[in-house]
C-alpha cells in the first residue's frame, strides 16, 4: 500500500490543507492538535527514518483550531545520507492529499548580536550555500523553479500580525543553509555575515525548493538556539542545541499554532491574507 492510501485509510475524514515540518524545538506543536491521528513514518512507504536526536518520525493528522493540518514530526537532513531529496515523497504525498501551503520550522544559529538565543526569526529569503538541489534529475520546464518570494510575503505578513497582537518579538531575516553535520567555523560565520545572512542551519532549504516545485506556498520560522561560532564563548554541540530548543519549545509552538489556526484554510490567494 502506498503512503497516500495508508493516510486515507487511517484518517478518512480529514482533508489537510496545510502541511507542517517540525524541526528541533518545535515538537510541542503536536500538543495543540485536536482529533489527532499519529502514523509512524515506518508505516508510510517512501517516508524517511530520521536519524537525528530531537527529530521524531511520525505524521500527525488533525486540526489546529478549525484548520485541517498534516504535521511531519521530523525530517531527513542531507548530511544523514548525502542526498538532499529525503523529504520529496512526504511533501508530494501531502500535496496530493490537498495541501496548498507548507509551514517549515528549524533550529538555527544567530549571526546577529541583537538576535540572541530563544529568539524567533521569520525567514524572508535563503542562501543555498552547498548549491545542492533536490530537483536534480527532474524533467520538464517545471524544474526551473522561480525562487523570488519563495517565502510567501502574505504569509509572512500574517505571521507578523499574529506575533504583534500577542506582544511576541518576531525577527525576520535571511537563512543560510550549511550542509553539516559539523558546525561552522568562526571564519565561515564571518563570511556568512558579509554575505547578508542573519541565521544559519542545516535544513529547510531543500524542502522549500521541493515545495515551490509542487506549487506550495511556504512560510518558515527559525528558533534561535545559539550565536554563531566565534560570536560568544559558548561551546557549540547538538546537546546544547536541543537544550536551548527545549527551553523555548512551549512558547514557540504556541505562537506557531496560533499563526496556523488563524489562517483561512491555508489556500487563500496571496492578496487575500
64-89 per-position pLDDT tens digit: 999 999 999 999 999 999 999 999 99
Contacts of 96 (CB under 8 A, 6+ apart): 4
Packed helices 153-166 and 238-261: angle between N→C axes, nearest 10 degrees: 90
Q: Which of 3, 11, 19, 24 is catalytic?
A: 24
Contact by Cβ (8 Å): 116, 110: yes
Q: How confident is the model at residue 271 (pLDDT cuts 50, 70, 90)?
A: very low
Widest pairwise Cα distance in the chain:
52
CA-based nearest residue to 104, from 117, 79, 118, 122: 122
> Would residue 202 show up in a list of annotated catalytic residues for this protein?
yes
d(CA 11, CA 176): 36
DSSP string, 41-76: GGGSTT-----STT---EEEEEEETTEEEEEEE---
User: Is 264 considered catalytic here?
Assistant: no
CA-based torsion, 54, 55, 58, 61: positive or negative: positive
- The cell for 232 is 560568544
Nearest to 263 by CA among 169, 167, 156: 156
* Residue 63 falls in the annotated catalytic set: no
In the chain, domain spans = 3-264
pLDDT, tens digit, 9 for 90 and up, residues 8-65 = 999 999 999 999 999 988 999 999 999 999 999 999 999 998 766 655 799 999 999 9
Measured CA distances, 104 to 23, 74, 77, 184 (Å)? 8, 11, 14, 22
Catalytic residue status for 203: yes
Strand partners, 58: 40, 73
Residue 100 known to be catalytic? no
pLDDT in tens, 170-208: 999 999 999 999 999 999 999 999 999 999 999 999 999
Which CATH number is 3-264's, of 3.40.190.290, 3.40.50.1000, 3.40.50.1580, 3.90.1570.10?
3.40.50.1580
In the predicted model, what is the mean pLDDT of residues 158-168?
97
The predicted model scores a pTM of 0.93
Amino acid at each position: 500500500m502506498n503512503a497516500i492510501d495508508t493516510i486515507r485509510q487511517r484518517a478518512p475524514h480529514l482533508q489537510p490543507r496545510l502541511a507542517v515540518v517540525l524541526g528541533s524545538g518545535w515538537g510541542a506543536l503536536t500538543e495543540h492538535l485536536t482529533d489527532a491521528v499519529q502514523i509512524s513514518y515506518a508505516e508510510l512507504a517512501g517516508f524517511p527514518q530520521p536519524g537525528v536526536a530531537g527529530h521524531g518520525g511520525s505524521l500527525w493528522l488533525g486540526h489546529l483550531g478549525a484548520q485541517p493540518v498534516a504535521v511531519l514530526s521530523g525530517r531527513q537532513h542531507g548530511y544523514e545520507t548525502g542526498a538532499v531529496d529525503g523529504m520529496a515523497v512526504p511533501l508530494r504525498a501531502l500535496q496530493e492529499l490537498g495541501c496548498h501551503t507548507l509551514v517549515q520550522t528549524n533550529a538555527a544559529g544567530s549571526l546577529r548580536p541583537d538576535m540572541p538565543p530563544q529568539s524567533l526569526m521569520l525567514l524572508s529569503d535563503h542562501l543555498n550555500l552547498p548549491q545542492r538541489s533536490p530537483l536534480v534529475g527532474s524533467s520538464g520546464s517545471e524544474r526551473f523553479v522561480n525562487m523570488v518570494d519563495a517565502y510567501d510575503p502574505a504569509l509572512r505578513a500574517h505571521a507578523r500580525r499574529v506575533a504583534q497582537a500577542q506582544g511576541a518579538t518576531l525577527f525576520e531575516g535571511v537563512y543560510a543553509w550549511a550542509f553539516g553535520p559539523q558546525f561552522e567555523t568562526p571564519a565561515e560565520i564571518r563570511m556568512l555575515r558579509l554575505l547578508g545572512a542573519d541565521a544559519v542551519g542545516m535544513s529547510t532549504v531543500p524542502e522549500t525548493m521541493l515545495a515551490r516545485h509542487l506549487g506550495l506556498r511556504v512560510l518558515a520560522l527559525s528558533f534561535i538556539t545559539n550565536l554563531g561560532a566565534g560570536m560568544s564563548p559558548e561551546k557549540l554541540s547538538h546537546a546544547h542545541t536541543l537544550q536551548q530548543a527545549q527551553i523555548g519549545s512551549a512558547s514557540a509552538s504556541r505562537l506557531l499554532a496560533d499563526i496556523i489556526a488563524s489562517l483561512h484554510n491555508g489556500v487563500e490567494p496571496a492578496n487575500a491574507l
